[in-house]
Amino acid sequence: MQNFEFYNPTRILFGQGMVAKLAEQVPADARLLILYGGSSAEKNGTLAEVRAALDGRMVHEFGGIEANPTYETLMRAVETIRREKLDFLLAVGGGSVIDGTKFVAAAVAYEGDAWDIMTTRGACVTAALPYGTVLTLPATGSEMNCGSVITRRQTREKLAFGNQLVFPRFSVLDPTKTYSLPLRQVANGVVDAFVHIMEQYLTYPAGGMAQDRFAESLLVSLIEIGPKVIAEPDNYDLRANFMWIATLALNGLIGAGVPQDWATHMIGHELTARYDIDHARTLAVVLPSMLRIRKAAKRGKLLQYARRVWNLHDGDEDTRIETAIAKTEAFFESLDIPTRLSAYTIGADAIDGLIAQLDAHGMTALGERAEVSLDVSRRVLEGAL
């Protein structure tokens, strides 16, 4: 196992009715800004519950944070906070609202051009406003991590940053708040969480016994409940399990002390930036091809994945590996998530542009051994056509 530091200060308030606990979590004298997305949090009653829990507090609101939150919109929130001298943030929504809130929390405290936060990947952040979240969409794990992905509309760039100063203080996870999700978003969430686990697990054997078994149990659980959370949208236990699994998939635990990949995510971000494909859908297209192209480097873990996650014990090693990848694809497809670029009418002529974007963003040596060069990324994209 590699040396590691583990730090996660986020308090979790999990379960039905926990929104009422907001009053205990938000300081009584806070000058608060509630940030939310489009109309879903208003329509499903989450915002009403939040307002009721914070009745009597000094509260402003900022709505309109888009899916794939943009720098342009978020900078308007920064202006509001500075003008009104607000000092505590509350994100109500999915990964986009939470990511956007992380950026806002850091940008308010930053004196230079706030886009520096993205180009330095968070290294320039030295202070951030405190904030909490009320999660409405299990998928990204953003509710319990310190990463954020922001899009600059003007230049069609989608970049990630991370900094320990932007962990949420607390996150409320009430599974009933997910009942109103469109099934497409539920399927996206299952696939996003699945790929988060794979990016931290499917690298090379590194002796992280607990991390491996933990990752495998999360993968097996997602395979088991993925179709059910879609078939039974208001089954509390299924939604509760799904919500907690998605959080555990990216709160740092399974990735501590083991190598991590993230090449699939970096290529996926370029697909979203250029073609507006939902985040999880880009991953479903890239991951299977990534595993095939890097089969040799990932051989040890692919065999372990085949054996422990898909129960493949018979046949030669190559057949088991190929079957495990095919089963992964079939799992995504069973959730109605395509695994080929052609489903988005993206052809070979798109690849040069995507590679140029990766190059422009310094994504030239990705993966657990930094061996995913632009040439490897090109082959991955060709394999996903």
Instruction: Name which position in 49, 143, 157, 192 contacts Zn ion (CB under 5 A).
Output: 192
Bridge partner residues of 60 (DSSP)? 33
171 in contact with ligand NZQ (CB under 6 A):
no
Is the CB of 30 or the CB of 47 nearer to ligand NZQ?
Answer: 47
| Minimum gap (Å) between residue 2 Cβ and ligand NZQ | 21
| Minimum gap (Å) between residue 46 Cβ and ligand NZQ | 7
176 in contact with ligand NZQ (CB under 6 A):
no
Give the alpha-carbon dihedral of 215, 218, 222, 223, to 10 degrees: 60
| Minimum gap (Å) between residue 15 Cβ and ligand NZQ | 16
Enumerate residues 6+ apart whose C-beta is below 8 A from 58. 30, 31, 32
286 in contact with ligand NZQ (CB under 6 A):
no
What gap in Å lies between CA 379 and CA 263, rounded to an integer? 13
Instruction: Tell me which residues in 41-100 interact with ligand NZQ (CB under 6 A).
Output: 41, 44, 67-68, 93-97, 99
CA distances from 60 to 33, 91, 109 (A): 5, 12, 19
| Minimum gap (Å) between residue 385 Cβ and ligand NZQ | 23
Side-chain half-sphere of 145: how many Cα atoms within 13 Å? 24
Nearest 5°: phi and psi at 235? -85, 110
- Measured at the CA of 314, the angle between CA 310 and CA 316, to 5 degrees, comes to 105
The token pair at 276 is: 């507006």
Question: How many residues make contact with ligand NZQ (CB under 6 A)?
Answer: 34
| Minimum gap (Å) between residue 332 Cβ and Zn ion | 13
142 in contact with ligand NZQ (CB under 6 A):
yes
Q: Which does 181 bind (CB under 5 to 8 A by kind): Zn ion, ligand NZQ, none?
A: ligand NZQ
The token pair at 226 is: 């993925």
136 in contact with ligand NZQ (CB under 6 A):
yes
Which of 202, 370, 371 lies closest to 299 in space, CA to CA?
202
What gap in Å lies between CA 225 and CA 242, rounded to an integer? 7
Site string for Zn ion, 148-187 (x = CB under 5 A): ----------------------------------------
282 in contact with ligand NZQ (CB under 6 A):
no
Binding site for ligand NZQ (CB under 6 A): 37-41, 44, 67-68, 93-97, 99, 136-137, 139-142, 145, 147-149, 177-178, 180-181, 185, 188, 192, 250, 265, 279
